[in-house]
Homo-oligomer: A and B are copies of this chain.
Amino acid sequence: MLSDKETSVEDLRNAVREFIHERDWEQYHNPKDLAQGICIEAAELLQLFQWTKSEDSRKVKTDPSKFKRVGEELADVVIYCLSMANALEVDLTKAVLEKLKLNKKRYPANLYRGKAHLDHQEE
């Protein structure tokens, strides 16, 4: 099976696009409902870590059945993100690299090294 190494972001977008097209679901894929879908799937992913201490959540790697579910829920979020990119014709690579560039300015490595980006998160 294909892996992240040899798969372009476009290839992954196309796999999702094809799945949606085969079902004629583009009509439902307006940005509002897709954003809702992302939210709902994100909450399902979060639920897998409910009542777990933050540090202990790393142990999910040693629990194969839970790890599998995490992978599936993460995939659900990513699939909706790819659908949003398809519906709006947003280039994800460009969007991500531009945002990282912005974040590099906001959080200079020498000032923020080892410091939680709490201030950022609350903005």
Contacts and interface: CB of A to CB of B under 8 A. Distances in A.
Interface of A: 1-10, 12-13, 15-16, 19, 22-25, 27-28, 30-33, 35-40, 42-55, 57-58, 60-61, 67, 70-72, 74-79, 81-82, 84-85, 87-100, 102-104, 107, 109, 112-118, 121-122
B38 A40 contact: no
12 contacts: A2-B93, A3-B94, A4-B10, A16-B100, A19-B100, A23-B112, A30-B58, A33-B51, A40-B43, A40-B46, A72-B99, A78-B96
B81 A81 contact: yes
A107 B30 CA distance: 20
Contact of A57 (B31, B77, B97, B99): B31
Given A4-B10, A88-B60, A54 B70 contact: no
A77 to B, nearest CB: 6
Nearest to A13: B4
Given A9-B12, A32-B49, A60-B88, A72 B43 contact: no
Contacts of A49: 31-32, 35
